[in-house]
Structure 1
Amino acid sequence: MAAGGSYFYKGSDLIHDYGCSKCEENDLNTEAQHFCPDCEHYLCDKCDGIHGEYFKKHVVYGRGEIQKWAGFSIDKCDQHGKELEDHCDDHQELCCSVCVALNHRLCSSISHLPDLAKGFLQTTEFKQLPAAVDKIKSRLYKLTNSRMNYQASLRDSYENIIVIIKALRDEINQILDTLEERTVEQLDSIMKDLEKSIKDDLEICSYMDDQLSIMIEKLQHMAYKKETSSFIGFMKCQSKLSEARYFVEEIRGKEGVKYKSDESVLQLLRKMSRLGNVERVPSIYVGTAQSSSHFNVRIEKDKKQCYIAGICELPSGEMVLTDYTNDRVKLLNRQFEVIAHCDLLATPEHLCHTTDNNVAVAVSDKNEVHFLAVTKGKLQAMRKFTIHHYCCSIAHHNGQLYVGSIDGLYMYNMVGRLIKKIYQDFSGGKAVYSCAISACGERIFVTNSDYSELGTLDKTGQVISTIKDPELEYPIALCVSQSGHVFVCGLGFRTVMQVDKEGRHKLATVAREADGLYNPRSVWFSEQTSTLIVGNLLQDNITVVKLN
């Protein structure tokens, strides 16, 4: 780079990241060392000195604060500070002369901005820009308020958790105090017994000592006088000596007191890294219907009214539907137009995405599972296997298929071998009319349509929770998104309800008949577009509900 005091004519081949604005007016090519945001001028050292004499109150940023240079002028390059003159059509970028020289020499199409701007002020796009800016500013304002409320909520959560931790500590302290009190009580009781025993022993010792002293003194005075009396005294003294010896030996074997800590308490505490676990809880997306549209999925070959029994989305964003009454599977593009179909000559019910662009379809009338692949916008039947029970729903996780039936849920591998019956229900009706699995595989959601119940199982098939709700009459389909959003549709009241990811309680009824639902028979939530796609019973249309 040229030094701040070196000057070259404007035609010089030297390229600066920022050129002095005042020098450029005199056809000089000088590198800027300063920036004045008030004047929006880039200045070399010499021009900065002159500028400082005239504008003493202007704050000027040097090279050490270069991050503050860009973004002050709408018609200057944010990167190089020069006038924006061109547009790279290949990269869709505004460019100054330095941008073109450094980054866009090999681009095929560079347009001059004055040429592109001709008549632009009269375009609808330009006239609608203020409204678009106002709209996004309004959303930013709402988001700001939402985040501020969330920040306050986080603080409240923090304080609440601290209270819970303190309460747990207090409870632990109370438990330890009680344990200490009971242990001391036990010690006091033993000490009381032992001290009483010692007191009794001391009294006996004193009594025996006195008795022996008296006996020996009397015996000595009686000696050589009366043989019979002396003999009697001797015998009594011997008896007392024997009693005293026995007592002395017994005292030597008396028990003491000892304490042994319960090491399991310390071991447990040492193993613990904390009193509990604090986790980040993902925010729960609770949808509300914003708008709805209907898209026709009937094709010329359909002889009957459509009955969309299953929906799933491919990684490409395309949708795959099962048409129960017309015995075929249909492929929809992102615009919800039918672009391909595959005739099964059997009755398809539910379906699920497996891997890549492949799907598995539960065929109820033949008790079969069919595999289809989407290749270059076409649906192609690949293979199938037969099972020995009715199948009305299907889900896939980690290379295993979960097939719902009248009496429960079965687990198969991908080639059709039964692994186990994971869940049994003898309540009657179709126990697992629909099923879906969380992305982590820890929770399995099932609907018992006849009993209007949504159940949640763990991966071993044990029931964790159940939900019954007045608006969930005849729950005939459900879906779980990759992020854990759970939606279930009730045919009876024509609703789609959202429940929490644990399947323990209802979050909201997100769509109703007023939102364009007919007879909801299948449902899918697309996280790519935040839309619910609802297939209907005996309707040629699907309903697409945009959620806030």
Structure 2
Amino acid sequence: MADSGSRIGEDDEVPGRVKENLCQPCLSKDKKTVADKFCSTCNEFQCNDCSNVHNVLAILKNHKLMGVKEADVASFSIKMKALDLCDQHQRSLEFFCEDEKKLCCSTCAIINHRKCHSVVEIEKIAGKINKRISTLGEKLKEAKEAAESVARYIRSSKHQLAGDIREIHVEVRRLRDKVMRMFDDLEESVVNSAETIERETLENLTRKQTQIEKHLADVTSCLETIESIFKNGTSVQKYIAGQKMESNVNALSRNIKEECQNLETMNISFHFDETLKMPPLPITEYVPGQLLFRSARQGDVNSVEMTMKLTPVSATVLKKTGDDIKIPLYTGIDFLADGRLVAVDNSNKKCLVYNEKLENVGSYKLSFIPLSVVVVSEEEVAITRCGEKKIEFLHVSKCNEISSSRTCKVKKKYDSICLKNDRQFVVGTYDEPRPVRILSLTGEEQDLRINFPNKTYPIGTSASTYIRNSDYSEILVITDRYEHTVYIYDFIVRNVKNDQIKGPCGAAGGPSDTILVCCRETDTIVQISQTGQILSSHKIDMKNPFRVCVSRDKSFLVVTNICVGNRKMQKFKILT
């Protein structure tokens, strides 16, 4: 494409100003001349004098010339970022010297490579290079994934460091009753030392984070260029991009690999000698304990993903009450912004609200069988309808009053539903060849650009969730109950199979951007990293867990089950 800089006023556009295309060969000589022609082969605008060279040199006679007004510049639009221009002459690259392994413009070919035996037109050999541009794209994707892992590790390390410091405070305060007044001096001495280590370590981590974020931005930029060229570019453009970007890609990969190899695992703790007899000295002269700081190289970033612990908070047994016909079956649950819980009862066609103690404080009779529910805003929820191509919206007030808001007609039957952003849902289908789709809040539907397995899920055998991370990435998770598999879609598709994953059902985003999955056949909640590593598995006092949700601040988890005759809803505190 002709360089966008060849148009007058491109960077300082004024209303009413007419843009003119300038001759690019003249521009390379610091001369501004209005272009009269456009050469689609050279991919540049030229004045009459410069375009006449096509009639002089035999090698240029097959080039396609057209008037400026006839040129459809948009048809040549692609993010080549000047990759197709000669560094020396700023002319389009048309030839490749096989003797010197260099890309050449027509000027280079005539001046610098006249004595070379094999100077070929790029257009004739470009078809052989498609695989290289694809390989570069894959290499950049791998580098991007590694950079994201490093970014997650650094964030995790900072969180862990802060947690260790908090533990030191707790341990030191536990000793207060034993050392009484001397503890004041001890606390000041130990905590100040710990905070000095924390401050210095955080500064180091922040410097590393800045560096990896720069690499990540570079990788993302290169990847966008590669993907744009691979998708829309001509064979010539792909060949040129492959030649010119290979060294940059290799350098980025080396830099990110070096960052991965230089990672360090750090923890800080305080150990007190319980048998110590305090000497008659000021506490600052003899500290009854030792502040330990350890730092070690971390070879595998994934192994430092943050694991969680679950502490039971409350539980409720689901029984028939009031006008219930059957034992309640909660197939959808989600947290409201203020910590209340909204649930849908599939057996009795109800939407219910629970307070923080899991006490029922609101109920609303539905005219349909609900499947799943998601909180849309502070006072609105959306519910999928069983056997119907509709999404129901309800209003849930601060006083726990529930009322119908609107009904949205859709084209497919949906089961699971979660928010993608403030305008769209990610919805799981059933009895459809594509298991997940995007749905707007107003009902527009579209497919994701993902090559899903050729499989149709019956109702209740699969669920999906969507996680938007703080480190520039987005994750789609799909559970397959009968295949005992969790599919994680990022740039790379990961099929997570493990003895701890049996009958996976509901899924939700957990702490530190991890994934939480209900495993029906093992009665567990399994924590999985985004790279597919099993981080922890938690046996819960509930048969056949089915649906799980996590509070907005990632501090609480609620799970429901589908067990016949013993249905529960439990709430846990998440500790990391």
TM-score tier (shorter): 0.3 to 0.5
TM-score, normalised by the number of residues in structure 1: 0.48
Which structure has more RCO (C-alpha within 8 Å, separation ≥ 6)?
2
Larger radius of gyration: 1
